[in-house]
Structure 1
Amino acid sequence: MTTTQTQLKNRLRRTDGQLHGIMKMVEDGRECQDILTQLSAVRSSVERIMGVVVAANVQQCVDDVQLSKDQQAELQSALELVIKNH
């Protein structure tokens, strides 16, 4: 299993745990604001997971291409930006 797969599985497990927690909050009749706060956290988590998937896919597509050190650094910065903003 690759590092990316491990990261994805860990993020998905964490998000699944958050969703189960939200379900319990709903069952317990927690305040709407508390539930919305947790839903927002789940949305952010899913967006980051999407960024990781996109970044991994891009990285796989360019692995066969010969890039200079500067190009590799630029690519890595761009991929980190995608992950951070998703």
Structure 2
Amino acid sequence: MEYNDAIKNRLRRMEGQLRGVLNMMEQQKDCREVVTQLSAIRSAVDRAIGTIVASNLESCIRTELDQGNEPNHVIKEAVEMLVKSR
């Protein structure tokens, strides 16, 4: 699968957020602020996972259909990946 620049940029933003949390910890910021930022990072990771799975699912379904197959197993696998990521 090819990953586009949008998803890579999203991950770079998360990387920056994570560095920011480390800086907050080094500065002894209030735990509520740290947890708030960590929650935002977790939400961003969840959205990135959803985007990657959705893009991959679309590609896999098209491949299965082009080969004359039913894409049921691909869909089931994608759902399992999403459930497992939570």
Instruction: Give yes or no for TM over 0.5.
Output: yes
Partner of 2:11: 12
The amino acid across from 1:14 in the alignment is R
What is the count of residue pairs matched by the alignment?
66
Partner of 2:46: 47
- Name the TM-score, length of structure 2 as normaliser: 0.68
Identity of aligned residues (%): 41
**Displacement over 3 Å in runs of 4+:** none
More relative contact order in 1 or in 2 (CA 8 Å, sep 6+)? 1
Shift of 1:5: 1.7
Deviations 1:8-61 (A, max 9, x none): 101100000000000000000000000000000000000001001100111101
Unaligned runs of 5+ in 2: 67-81
Unaligned runs of 5+ in 1: 67-81
- Name the TM-score, length of structure 1 as normaliser: 0.68
Equivalent runs, 1:3-82 vs 2, <5 Å = 4-64=3-63, 65=65
Aligned residues: CA RMSD: 1.9
